[in-house]
Amino acid sequence: MAEFTMELNDEQKEVRDWLHGFAADVIRPAASEWDEREETPWPVIQEAAKVGIYSLDFYAQQYFDPTGLGIPMAMEELFWGDAGIALSIVGTGLAAVGVLANGTEEQIGTWIPQMYGDANDVKVAAFCSSEPDAGSDVASMRTRAVYDEAKDEWVLNGTKTWATNGGIANVHVVVAVVDSGLGSKGHASFIVPPNTPGLSQGQKFKKHGIRASHTAEVVLENVRIPGSCLLGGKEKLDERLARARERARAGGGERVKNAAMATFEASRPAVGAMAVGTARAAYEVALDYAKTREQFGRPIIDNQGVAFQLADMRTSIDAARLLVWRASWMAINGRPFTAAEGSMSKLFASETAKKVTAQAIQILGGNGYTREYPVERMHRDAAIYTIFEGTSEVQRLVIARTLSGMPIR
């Protein structure tokens, strides 16, 4: 087990500096254009693939870093560049985590490479969990998966929403209900292979922020997939459902995690790291501006009202990063989140990003409110962190339930 440390090793520093250079030289110059276009930045993704950032090998190397700091370090640097473009680059990772968390070794080896493609023909993947009437309330999910034993096929029907890369993905990972009587415990995850009949893109959303990232509905109409596309396999699913039914008859017992929640728990510290990157970017713009912008014959940072804001901004950013690193280290080393440390990291980091980007606009004044300066875009982007993969309210609920052991509603 790797010891927890606040210092990156030489190899991690080298990777961090490489990512920072890509974010500064490739992502940032393209950020405003793709935000305005509200389209997937395929050329930037391809550049990331050419240098090895958008690849299974790079993702796996960071994911399995024994210190747990590989992924949060990478997320912070890329999202420091721009949140919308960075999400287009890393969005496939959520689907990959879904397969890593629930799939067999064969499924991992088969499907994750197809999620990325290669430098000459890049692909993306989508993780589809939320529905029009089931966001945080995963127990209300309506998408159904029915097993056709005669053909060894699963038949999926339903509509997913808020899916990053939904409809344009080469591979979709879909969470569906297999036993409606078990609530969220009756869910399973499925791979929908490329070009499967019955899967189509619904509405593409025009968003407040992260506009370079494609977000859309995914419609499933009698989508038939091979039995081998059930993540984890049917034997494992049947065993899990049997245990859940037995516990239900016994009136409770050990908690069983559903497929969507297992994916979200694994990814929440990474989302916190994204928020840290956006917050840090806005803070740096505000700091540079405050040192060069003069009013009444002196730089505005000479005023306590500005200087104290910057001090608070930096303090919150560093505190958020430490919570993210702690949760990431705990996760990779198998330490249980006994105080919901994963949710803590996402909650604090996402709220920090919203506050810090708002403070950056305030420090820049009228300039901060215009698109001539990036903090306006950063503030719009930051709003998503308190919403996706569990709202701030849901994180507080998870933390409170974990601490109290009570079914707080």
Q: Are 170 and 197 in contact (CB under 8 A)?
A: no
Report how far residue 83's alpha carbon sits from residue 93's, in angstroms, rounded to the nearest whole number: 15
- Please classify residue 212 by burial: count the beta carbons closer than 10 Å to its beta carbon, then call 0-12 exposed, 13-18 middle and 19+ buried: buried
- The Cα-based distances of 214 to 34, 55, 71, 138, 384 in angstroms read 11, 19, 22, 23, 14
**Could you tell me the two tokens for 227?**
């039995």
Q: Dihedrals φ, ψ of 74, to 5°?
A: -65, -45
Report how far residue 277's alpha carbon sits from residue 81's, in angstroms, rounded to the nearest whole number: 8
Taken in order 348, 71, 50, 95, the sign of the CA dihedral is: negative
Helix, coil or strand: residue 339: coil
DSSP string, 137-202: -GGG---EEEEETTTTEEEEEEEEEEEETTTT-SEEEEEEES-GGGGGGGEEEEEE-TT-TTEEEE
State the catalytic residue, choosing from 47, 131, 351, 389.
Answer: 389
Q: Roughly how many angstroms between the first and final C-alpha of the chain, as a whole number?
A: 37
106 a catalytic residue = no
Helix (H) or strand (E) holding 222: strand 215-226
CA-wise closest residue to 31 among 386, 389, 375, 387: 375
Q: Are 187 and 176 in contact (CB under 8 A)?
A: yes
Residues marked active site are found at 389
